[in-house]
Structure 1
């Protein structure tokens, strides 16, 4: 009798595990990703602008269309499970990028939410490693950027951290005429020490150029 009871208990445990296994395999819902929420909201605002046939100050219809297309692809990337961004350095200098540790281990004693790495010229960050954004040195300018899909392009001077959305490949180049930084992505979020727990030092590009590149990277 005891044997049958023991077998019954074992059978019940196995059945419970069989039904519970799919729930263990469930991936986090992309709809809860902050980047997905932000992209969806921005697309809705741009769609309303186009439907109402109103002119956004400082933006041409072509620029609105370009931003809509960019956000549409970012939204699709997030829906298909791409939860990382990539940074491609074509500036002619070493740049500083933000990201987690390569092995994704959580450090309970970490002072900041991510780490600052150095990416050599001609390299892009490694596939599947999430580049959260780039550091802008105190003597470097971005000539034309916007922190909002409906925003007008403006000039930005560091020090600052520029955050990109998951699913984005950010290409950073130096404009040969102005020496300012050009970004291929129309919208980036500007962070400072008051808005994010990121390490944002007040240093020059010359100091960054002296650092040993240590970002997980691919040859570009």
Structure 2
């Protein structure tokens, strides 16, 4: 079975750094310096979640940062896909997957990292050609043990686990052969973003970029 072209692009993209920062941006004015700090720290692939009114404008601002590869997270339906594409997103991330969401991403030409939490969900997406999946919510859905279990019957799938992962637990996931990277919100604490502590955020990124990968 031929793989989805978007999955092939995502696999190349997600092997570039061990961690994708998962970002909740409240203030558009903070978007560009936040992206600059993360890219300077060695984490160029960024996920901006569509959880705030500022998200789309923040995404557009980050897309102009040299070296940044900006994706849209929390895509729930076709309208989100279209809005993310228009804002300059180069890929999309969803907590789950529905037929309408998958179709919209294909029609928009937006590579999608669809979320799964069970073997059946993974198998369904595999039948559709997807080879790179988000495992969410990782910690609550079985964590490292679940991913180890999935590697036997589904050896051709690769995962980006997200949800409940921090710097101290990220390496446990990254050492698994079926994990390309992890997603984490610890890279951009809201208090540091609000304070404009870009040096501190760059330091967090540098520490994450050094994780075994």
Q: TM-score w.r.t. structure 2 length?
A: 0.23
Per chain length, whose mean CA-contact separation is higher, i.e. which structure has more relative contact order (CA < 8 Å, sep 6+)? 2
